[in-house]
Structure 1
Amino acid sequence: MHRTYSMRQTRAPTASQIQNPPPPPSSTKSGRLFGRGGFGHALRRNAAGAFGPDLAKKLTQLVKMEKNVMRSLELVAKERMEVAQQLSLWGEAGDEDVSDVTDKLGVLIYEIGELEDQYVDRYDQYRVTMKSIRNIEASVQPSRDRKQKIADQIAQLKYKEPNSPKIVVLEQELVRAEAESLVAEAQLSNITREKLKAAYAYQFDALQEHCEKVAIIAGYGKHLLELIDDTPVTPGETRAAYDGYEASKAIIQDCEDALTNWVSSNAAVNPKLSTRARTLSMRRRNNIKARSEGLDLSGQDVPLNDRESWVAAGEHRSHEYEDEEEPEDDQAHSVLDSDSGLNGEQHRGRAPEMAA
């Protein structure tokens, strides 16, 4: 900037960076072999799925496409900072209010470019995490191939030499290969779910922080525009002297303070689910929790320790029951305890009661 005052003069860590330390620089910011253009993008995207194990091809292509996205974001960040500098240079020759406001607007736009550059570094966390899933997929492919190869050999032998002793040996190898494949598949399933959630948590957290901070800058930028006097003047009339230098500095300082103190817990945008979505999501989380913890059946067969609640068979008539439900144990009698019994005969011990 051509002015001495700039938001980038101090590099103290922000509250968000203290709470969530920034990652290392993105791996896409160095080692460019095909440059920044569309040729490199197309080559990476099309060649990504042509090599490697079949199981990992689709995710390999996704990872390469995300690399293209990151390099595009880098280019946008760099050009936005150049635009900010050019805006400040253009406004320098204007009137005092235009010169001051365009310079401060350049400061804000340059800060957006800086935020976009930081966003690329956090976006790379997402991409690297997705790459770890791809690596696991690639490691599982050999066990699948080995199992399929043995199965094909067994099928071929059974067709050509049904009595070959090699069939028994191959079937034993197939059992071992299937066991190894089960372990590998379970590991892939577990890691895929864990890493997928972690990867997109990185991306959405970074996106939320970036968008919230850009919204803050946009708000203060509109306050800066209010300092420009756009009242029409007649030819030969002079405008009043500009007295907004301190105000523009104060707006920039307030913007810097807001960006420095921003943390995710104070985000202005908090997505709220509808009642239906919240109910369905809660049901899904409860089902997952129940499956992970197992069903609690400890209270299903609790022993009855209250000996006084038991009544002898001969005392049933003399024991008065009011409008109370029968105890669970009385309801749980099998069909053998009914009046007719399993074979249509009266239960022993009932006859004296009925005779009485």
Structure 2
Amino acid sequence: MQPELSRKLYKVIKSSNNLVTAHDTAAKERSRIATELSEWGEHTNDEAVSDISDKVGVILSELGEQEENYAHNLEDSRGVLKAIRNTEKSVQPSRDNKAKITDEIQKLKVKEPQSTKLVVLEQELVRAEAENLVAEAQLSNITRQKLKEAYEAEFAAVIERAERQIILAKHGRRLLHLLDDSPMTPGDGQRAYKRGGEARQILNDAEDDLRKWEPDFGGESYHDAQDSVEYAGRTPESSIATGHRQQDDHGKQGLPLSEATLREEGHEPALAGSSSAGLTN
């Protein structure tokens, strides 16, 4: 049972946990959809659809990574709010004690206005008021500081997620523009697909743009912002080193590209743990 003082913020923190769970679930669903799209494309017997669907799957999977990172940042922001709640809980006893002594004094003044116990209670009230003043000042300071800190971090995370997902979405649309969807007539042979290199380059471009992305705090430098708030943002790391599939020399679908294969194709494999490692396919 939460004390009355911390009950409303407790609801905010609990609802925020539901929000974190929702974004985490969305991230997992994105990743699942990306895999399923890639697997579907592989079985269409259309080289263009197979390649584009696989690379779109890479983009979708990376969108899921951004969503997961956002969920982590929301959890960090939620954790900062707990500091206010915990302080509220610690202040409640001093408020209750002050109110209790005040109530006892009022009752005693009615029943026994000459009682010597009044002097003792009034001295206790002075001490209780002093303790409460300290507690209330601490609560005010922590509330202002942590409220600002929590939502500075959350808004920074919102900006990061939005801008990085915009980058990915734009490159995803570039991939779709490589797919020739002009009508075919019965009897036409399957069109040759010659845009695999362009598709790979688009993934390289997406990787480069994610790596170059930097937070913008509206005129305040990132490091200044870190000094003023404990920014909860993480630098997302792509878990997709090379996409879902590769095509070998015979057009067959194989395992994800190895580092050796990347080097053979002229791509430098990303170092483990580097930011936005390898959207390359």
Q: Which TM-score tier does this pair reach, normalised by the shorter chain?
A: 0.7 to 0.9
Matches within 5 A, 1:2-41: none
- Give the aligned partner of residue 18 of structure 2: 68
TM normalised by structure 1 equals: 0.60
| Equivalent residue for 2:170, pick from 219, 228, 252 | 219
- Give the aligned partner of residue 165 of structure 1: 116
Q: Kindly provide the amino acid, as one letter, of the partner of residue 155 in structure 1.
A: Q
Kindly tell me the number of residue pairs found equivalent between the two proteins: 218
Looking at structure 2, the residues matched to 123 and 234 of structure 1 have their Cα atoms a distance apart, in angstroms, of 52
Residue 262, structure 1, aligned to residue 213, structure 2: yes
Matches within 5 A, 1:126-205: 126-205=77-156
Looking at structure 1, the residues matched to 186 and 81 of structure 2 have their Cα atoms a distance apart, in angstroms, of 64
Q: Which runs of 5+ in 1 are unaligned?
A: 1-50, 272-356
Q: Which runs of 5+ in 2 are unaligned?
A: 220-281
Residue 246, structure 1, aligned to residue 197, structure 2: yes
Q: What does the per-residue CA deviation read over 1:34-71, in whole Å, with 9 as the maximum and x for residues that have no partner?
A: xxxxxxxxxxxxxxxxx121100111111111111111
| Equivalent residue for 1:86, pick from 36, 45, 48 | 36
Q: Kindly provide the amino acid, as one letter, of the partner of residue 131 in structure 1.
A: K
Offset, 1:93:
1.8
- Give the aligned partner of residue 101 of structure 1: 52
Looking at structure 1, the residues matched to 22 and 215 of structure 2 have their Cα atoms a distance apart, in angstroms, of 26
Larger Cα Rg: Structure 1 or Structure 2? Answer: 1
Q: What does the per-residue CA deviation read over 1:287-317, in whole Å, with 9 as the maximum and x for residues that have no partner?
A: xxxxxxxxxxxxxxxxxxxxxxxxxxxxxxx
Looking at structure 2, the residues matched to 97 and 240 of structure 1 have their Cα atoms a distance apart, in angstroms, of 9
More relative contact order, 1 or 2 (CA 8 Å, 6+ apart): 2
Q: What does the per-residue CA deviation read over 1:303-338, in whole Å, with 9 as the maximum and x for residues that have no partner?
A: xxxxxxxxxxxxxxxxxxxxxxxxxxxxxxxxxxxx
Provide the identity percentage.
50
Q: Kindly provide the amino acid, as one letter, of the partner of residue 253 in structure 1.
A: N
Looking at structure 2, the residues matched to 234 and 119 of structure 1 have their Cα atoms a distance apart, in angstroms, of 47
Q: Kindly provide the amino acid, as one letter, of the partner of residue 132 in structure 2.
A: S
Looking at structure 2, the residues matched to 117 and 244 of structure 1 have their Cα atoms a distance apart, in angstroms, of 32
SS in structure 2 at match of 1:264: coil
Offset, 1:240:
3.1
Offset, 1:132:
0.5
| Equivalent residue for 1:230, pick from 162, 181, 197 | 181
Deviates more, 1:183-192 or 1:232-241: 232-241
Q: Kindly provide the amino acid, as one letter, of the partner of residue 77 in structure 1.
A: A
- Give the aligned partner of residue 332 of structure 1: none
Looking at structure 2, the residues matched to 242 and 210 of structure 1 have their Cα atoms a distance apart, in angstroms, of 34
- Root mean square deviation, CA, Å: 1.3
Offset, 1:239:
4.3
- Give the aligned partner of residue 258 of structure 2: none
- Give the aligned partner of residue 53 of structure 1: 3
